[in-house]
Each structure stands twice: as structure tokens, then as C-alpha cells.
Amino acid sequence: MWRKIRILLDMIKFEHTIFALPFAFTGAFLAAKGVPSAEKCLLILGAMVGARTAAMTFNRIVDLPFDAANPRTKERPLVTGAVKKTEAWCFFLISLGIFFACAAALNPLTFKLSPIAMVIVLAYSYTKRFTWLCHVFLGLAIGLAPLAGWIAVKPSFDTVPLVLSLAVLFWVAGFDILYACLDEEFDRKIGLKSIPAKFGKRKAFLFSAVFHAIAFGLFVLVGFLAHLSWIYFAGLLITLGLFIAQRVVISPDDLSRLNLSFFTFNGAISMVLFIAVVLDLLF
């Protein structure tokens, strides 16, 4: 049983939850102007893990024909048979149930908005079939995290979480463009849409750089809108260094260290900004 659970978690790359989860808590901490209650934190954690697990499992199911044909993904558990399709669907439904249960327990607004949020995160799986702006749609799906965290604590809309969500949108779209460079030739051959497949790696890197510049500008704007102090802006300096570092380790001609750029640096960005906000609010 535990072996099967490990395989299921590997199938959805559970460790990549680190991209969205810190931003959900960033939104929650900003709404609370400090530390939310333990109950709120646990429910936000459950909702985020449930939503991402459902979304990634659904993605693996609907993309199974493409994963089987792609040399880069042909060893994924659903392709090899290590996970059966019925098992994946059960995993999806359980995760979906956890998400909706946690959303309902948070407050009435989170529950009312939860179906809309789930439609958005599930719809992403189909976007590569018809638009090269699929990266932006992924950014939208993950970018809901800060706004969701805010509403979980303070059931209302505000400029601060909306700007933070927009920043996350451009940040995610920027690094997803780089990751899609690994499949440029395959996507073009099979008819899937992406910025690298349409414009090539060099222009894709330019798109990514522009998106990340916009994201960083929006992160700066969040600091001013939320009246954060030098602690947050010190965190932004570290974030800027991480943005630059991932550009140093990869290039259109050398993607060999893309996993380092994709996971390590971007995971660090989400954690650094979260920690900076927490320290700023506490001190």
C-alpha cells in the first residue's frame, strides 16, 4: 500500500506543491496581518494539497496518449502501468473531495468559489491542444493561490491579493515557458501548442524574461500596497538574485540544468517571499 502511495505521489510530482502552497499562505498571512489560526492553516493546507493533487492527477489521465508517445515522459507511472487508470481516477476523486470539504469548512465564500477554481485548474490540461498561451493559463491556475489564501482568512476581495495573484501568474508562466523548451520538437511534431513550439527556444527565453520582469515588478508593487517594510524588500533582493541565477545556469543552447532552474530556484523564490512576508508581519 505504501509503495502504491509513493508511486501515486511520484506520478503527480507532489514535491512541486512548493510552488503554490507558500503563496497561498502568503495571502492568508497578509489577510490576517499576522499568523492565521491553526485551524485555518490546516484547512488551507488541505484545500491546496487536494486541489493540486486533483489537478495533476487529472492532467496525467487526459495527457496519457501524449505522455506515452513522448520519450521524455514514457516512464511515467500511468504509461508504464505502475498506476492503473481506475486507481488514478479514484485518487482524483478522493483529492477532489478533500478540496471541497476543506473549502466548505473555511467559510461560505470559499465554498461558493471552489467549483470555479476547480474548473480553472482542470481546464489547463486541455489548453495545449488549442493555444500557445497555455503557459499563461497555468499561471492563472496557480496564481489563484494567494487570492484563495486571502479569502480563506478574510472572505472578501482586495487589491493586495489580486496584485500578488497576478505576479504569481507571470512568474509561473515564465518558468513554464522555459520548461516547455524540453518538448519543443515533440510538441511541434504532434501538434501541441506552446510558445517554444511556435516561436523557437530563443524567442521563448525572451518571452520568459519579459514575464519574469513583469512578475518582479508586481512583487515590488505588493510591498508598497501592503505597506511592508525593509524586511520584505530585502527578501525581494534575494528573489531578484534567484531570477537571475536561473538565467545563468541555462540557455537556449544548453538545457541540461533545466531541472535545477525549474525546481530549485523557483521553489526557493516561493519560500523566500513567504518567509519575507512572515518576518515582516511579525517584526
The number of distinct structural domains making up the chain is 1
Is a pLDDT exceeding 60 seen at residue 14? Answer: no
Which amino acid makes up residue 104?
Answer: A
pLDDT value of position 11:
58
pLDDT value of position 171:
96
Residue 61 grid cell: 489521465
Would you say the pTM of this structure is higher than 0.85? yes
pLDDT value of position 4:
53
Q: Rounded to the nearest 5°, which phi and psi values hold at 119?
A: -60, -45
Compute the distance between CA of residue 244 and CA of residue 14 in angstroms, rounded to an integer. 26
Compute the distance between CA of residue 27 and CA of residue 58 in angstroms, rounded to an integer. 26
The answer to whether 53 and 26 are in contact (CB under 8 A) is no
Q: Which range of residues forms the domain containing residue 261?
A: 2-282
Q: Hey, how many other C-beta atoms are within 10 angstroms of the C-beta on 123? A: 14
Encode pLDDT of 124-175 as tens digits.
999 999 999 999 999 999 999 999 999 999 999 999 999 999 999 999 999 9
Report the CATH number at residue 223: 1.10.357.140
Least confident of 73-87, 138-152, 188-202: 73-87
Residue 112 grid cell: 461558493
Encode pLDDT of 257-278 as tens digits.
887 667 788 888 999 999 999 9
Encode pLDDT of 25-44 as tens digits.
999 999 999 999 999 999 99
The answer to whether 71 and 79 are in contact (CB under 8 A) is no
DSSP-assigned states of every residue in 43-102: HHHHHHHHHHHHHHHHHHHHTHHHHHH-TTTTTSHHHHTSS-HHHHHHHHHHHHHHHHHH
β-bridge mates for residue 251, sequence order: 254
- The number of CA neighbours under 13 Å toward the Cβ of 196 is 22
Which amino acid makes up residue 9?
Answer: L
Q: Which residues contact 43 (CB under 8 A, 6 or more apart)?
A: 102, 105, 106, 152
Buried b (16+ CB within 10 A) or exposed e, 189-212: eeebbbbbbbbebeebbebbeebb
DSSP-assigned states of every residue in 100-160: HHHHHHH-HHHHHHHHHHHHHHHHHHHHTTT-TTHHHHHHHHHHHHHHHHHHHHS-S--HH
Compute the distance between CA of residue 6 and CA of residue 75 in angstroms, rounded to an integer. 15
Least confident of 94-98, 195-199, 253-257: 253-257
Confidence tier at 10 by pLDDT (50, 70, 90): low
pLDDT value of position 28:
97
